[in-house]
A and B are shown apart, each in its own frame.
Chain A
Amino acid sequence: MFIKIAHLSIDLKDFQLRDVNLDIEKGDYVVIIGPTGSGKSVILETIAGFYTPETGKIILEGQDITYFPPEKRNMSIVYQDYMLFPHMTIYENIAYGLKKTFDKGCIEKEVKHIARLLKIEHLLHRFPGTLSGGEAQRTAIARALVVKPRLLLMDEPFSALDVKTKKELRQLVKTALKEYQTTTVHVTHDLDDVWHLATKVVIMRHGKVLQVGPPEHIFANPTDNFVADFMGANTFKGKIIGEENGLSLLKLAEGIKLYSKDQGPIGQEAIVAIRPEHILISPKSSFSHVSNVFCGRIINTKVQGHLVWLTLDIEGLYLKALLTPNAYELMGLNERGRVFVTIKSSHVKIISSSRKDKGEFFRRQENR
């Protein structure tokens, strides 16, 4: 075990952690997700050593570091607001953590290397105040990675960026982490970070860990209602078989073809996730201009709170969908009835499937 967090509790009045247990393997990319106030930032700052827990232990590679000061842990942290040192140039910012251990020539080599990797070479002489959000965050990530931390902690690193910058930065981070082989814990409330980066997902609420596991496992098997509402999505195995008008064409194991706005190399196996509330249902086909329209049958309905959960059968593909009781009644739907199912291509999410463990996960699913 690389890092073991055992029975961690802390009370900071506004935020709490309650008996948090978490195991992290070397090379994991852990994404902690949860609503605001769930204590997900506190757990990062406790791992980093900014808070001392009331109970519990943090064991890093067999060593108890619970009471180590932050500077003895070799973990770097990246914040949402970049937190670049405003009185230093970009070069000095990145070099900051190297000053104590390396000589000048070595520092320059390391800084230039990471700057090239994160495409901020041309900014090295500038001051943080003159950078765009994306450039500032790339600098912060460079500063954190250049010291080769044992653990990289990121607190909502992409949340202040626009959608396009976010996408580019996720890709850059992936490349950089691969080269530096850094184990990462990333706190977010953005499901896209889970889709694109996570090898392990931790769901938190009210300072407690609700569920831990590989993303596809959690999406498919949420253990409690909150997780289901927060994360619950339909997941399918498929393959990217082509590209049309900028959309990826996917073929699912069940034989159905789906268009997705997410991109991926043709021929690659992929997991597709669709959230229940993104599935539009109508008794008649009316969205002919939308890419994904299917004809299916309602095979099960379940009323839960203020919502109706439907299980749909589209040529052997089982889909969970959500409706309000009003909509259900207005459309005159009933069990066994025929419906048209529409899914916008932007709502069909491709979870990257370059990781080994996923293949195994599929096989287990198919065997069941």
Chain B
Amino acid sequence: MNEGPFLKIAGLIAFIGVSLITVPIIYIFIKLSSHNIVVTIKDQTVWHSIFTSIWSALWATFIGCIIGVPFAYLLSRAQFKGKAIVESVVNLPVAIPHVAVGIALLSLFNQRTIVGRFFSFFHITFTDTIYGIVLAMLFVSVSFIISSSLVGFNNIEPELEMVSRSLGASANYTFWHITFPLALPAIIRGAVLAFARSISEVGALLILAYYPKTAPILMYERFEEYGLNAARPVTALVILFSVIIFFTLLHFTKRYVKG
């Protein structure tokens, strides 16, 4: 087939798109000086912030799955009044500026409100704690898990479950042996996105939980206080980590998608 110049133009545009993503990332590494790298690697604050980011993002993703997967299953299989409203509420966090998320969460979860006092009864407070970080991450990332799992459940033909039931399997057995394994690739895809989204969160954390510092907060702080040159090595290290984690998860997901 002869597409004329169309494919060439599309190729050019795609090249610009890919460059837009890769060039700034590569440039950061080019501009690094070896002295800066050594200083950063020896800096405990940097490692601590990266650890905080990953640890909180894992927790946010884990809690997100516990809330999001059953929620998505309900949305996929049950018919109830106001279902359409619930479905659009799920996607709301994507549309709200993240600083606004931070302000909303701080308003509700500070220790002067009933909710805040309820949690402090269990020695859980949200301002400037790791709980606050997880809460903010959960808020901005859970919709990825819900929407992706929902697609996963919706793509399973109900007849498959019916066949399983007719062969003597209970509803519970059918869920764990048919429905869940078939939706798993979609659930994992949602979890990977939620994890990535959590790691990159900064807006809500600035307001709700500046401390303990996560990696993005640390980068922001270094930039604000010491300027571009000071922020760059931390940034490079965080990017390196993010890329490694992202591709590891991607590889893991691919294996599941194939099965």
Interface set of A (CB-CB < 8 Å, partner B): 45, 48-50, 69-71, 73-77, 79, 81, 83, 85-87, 96-97, 100-101, 143-144, 147, 153
Contact = CB atoms under 8 A, between A and B. Distances in A.
Contacts of A79: 159, 163
Given A85-B178, A87-B181, A97 B162 contact: no
Contacts of B162: 45, 48, 50, 70, 77, 83
Contacts of B169: 71, 96-97, 100
Given A79-B159, A81-B159, A86 B166 contact: no
Given A77-B163, A83-B163, A87-B181, A71 B168 contact: yes
A74 B159 contact: no
Contacts, number: 60
B56 to A, nearest CB: 33
Which residue, of B157, B160, B166, B170, has the highest number of chain A Cβ atoms within 10 A?
B166
A87 B184 CA distance: 11
B163 A87 contact: no
Nearest to B182: A87
A77 B166 CA distance: 7
Interface in B8-47: none
Interface of B: 157, 159-160, 162-171, 178, 181-182, 259
Which residue, of B167, B169, B178, B181, has the highest number of chain A Cβ atoms within 10 A?
B167
A73 B160 CA distance: 17
Nearest to A74: B168
A76 B160 contact: no
A45 B166 CA distance: 10
17 contacts: A48-B166, A49-B165, A49-B166, A50-B162, A70-B162, A71-B165, A71-B166, A71-B167, A73-B166, A74-B168, A83-B163, A85-B160, A96-B167, A100-B169, A143-B163, A143-B167, A147-B168
B165 to A, nearest CB: 4
Contacts of A70: 162, 165-166
A75 B181 CA distance: 25
Contacts of B170: 69, 71
A79 to B, nearest CB: 5
Which residue, of B162, B181, B259, has the highest number of chain A Cβ atoms within 10 A?
B162
Nearest to B259: A87
